[in-house]
């Protein structure tokens, strides 16, 4: 019964908005897994958690869905790219300094370059992020991609009651 009540609330929750910078090698050692090379996902989509989401180290291993929504530099976002990054480090303990300080998250070069246009050379971007398990359609339908009226038209219909938890990744 509780699940039935809570489930729709979880599913309609929007992603959070934050900022992202990038950092370069050396990536080791990390605050989460020290020198272990196997900590990095093979697609190199990983990140360091900023102070706000580091959670005293509890953030280690968490997987965040991230999408670029805007930046101070024009043409910085690669449209419709959503990545899933694994937290392996703390942004405050990186070997190489991030491209901007104080961001919500600091992405690996590969992660940053997948959602942001490095030719435009943004030092940081505004992003939408959330832990997986929510309906990813929320990200696709979210502000920025569609005119406000269309968003409302699309978001109003009720979502399926039970979460499928299927995450479709763009590669
Ligand atoms: C990337 O940035 C460059 C330089 O600002 C720009 O010419 C190009 O159109 C951008 N590409 C995309 C996909 O926005």
| Mutate-to-test residue for ligand 1 from 115, 117, 121, 125, highest number of ligand atoms within 8 A of CB | 117
Q: pLDDT tens across 137-152, in order?
A: 444 444 444 334 333 3
- 144: which 2 tokens? 């920025």
Q: Check whether the bond before 18 is cis (ω within 30° of 0).
A: no
Size of the chain in residues:
171
**Mean pLDDT computed over 94-121:** 96
CA dihedral 37, 33, 60, 92 (to 10 degrees): -100
Q: Is 75 in the pocket of ligand 1 (CB under 6 A)?
A: yes
Query: In CATH, what number does 2-155 get?
Result: 2.40.40.10
| Mutate-to-test residue for ligand 1 from 71, 73, 119, 122, highest number of ligand atoms within 8 A of CB | 119
As a whole number of angstroms, the distance between CA 74 and CA 124 comes to 12
Say if residue 14's pLDDT is above 90. Answer: no
As a whole number of angstroms, the distance between CA 116 and CA 70 comes to 9
Q: Check whether the bond before 85 is cis (ω within 30° of 0).
A: no
pLDDT at 138: 47
Please give the backbone phi and psi of residue 54, each rounded to the nearest 5 degrees, phi first.
Answer: -65, -40
State the pTM of this model.
0.73
Radius of gyration of the chain (CA): 17
Going from the Cα of 18 to the center of ligand 1, the distance in angstroms, rounded, reads: 22
Ligand 1 atom with least separation from CA of 119: 2
Ligand 1 atom with least separation from CA of 78: 13
Say if residue 70's pLDDT is above 80. Answer: yes
Q: Is 120 in the pocket of ligand 1 (CB under 6 A)?
A: yes
Going from the Cα of 117 to the center of ligand 1, the distance in angstroms, rounded, reads: 6
Q: Is 117 in the pocket of ligand 1 (CB under 6 A)?
A: yes
pLDDT at 77: 97
User: E-strand spans in the chain?
Assistant: 16-23, 46-49, 63-70, 82-90, 105-108, 125-130
């Amino acid at each position: 019964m509780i699940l039935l009540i809570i489930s729709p609330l979880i599913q309609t929750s929007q992603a959070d908005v934050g900022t992202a910078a990038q950092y370069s090698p050396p990536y080791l050692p990390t605050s989460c897994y020290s020198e272990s090379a196997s900590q990095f996902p093979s697609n190199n989509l990983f990140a360091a958690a900023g102070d706000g989401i580091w959670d005293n180290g509890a953030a280690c291993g968490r997987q965040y869905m991230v999408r670029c929504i805007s930046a101070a530099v024009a043409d910085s976002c690669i449209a419709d790219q959503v990545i899933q990054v694994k937290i392996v480090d703390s942004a405050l303990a990186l070997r190489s300094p991030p491209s901007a300080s104080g961001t919500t998250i600091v992405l690996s070069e590969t992660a940053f370059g997948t959602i942001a246009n490095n030719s435009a050379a943004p030092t940081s971007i505004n992003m939408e992020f959330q832990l997986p398990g929510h309906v990813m359609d929320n990200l696709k339908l979210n502000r920025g991609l569609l005119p406000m009226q269309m968003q409302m038209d699309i978001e109003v219909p009720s979502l399926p009651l039970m979460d499928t938890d299927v995450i479709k990744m763009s590669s």
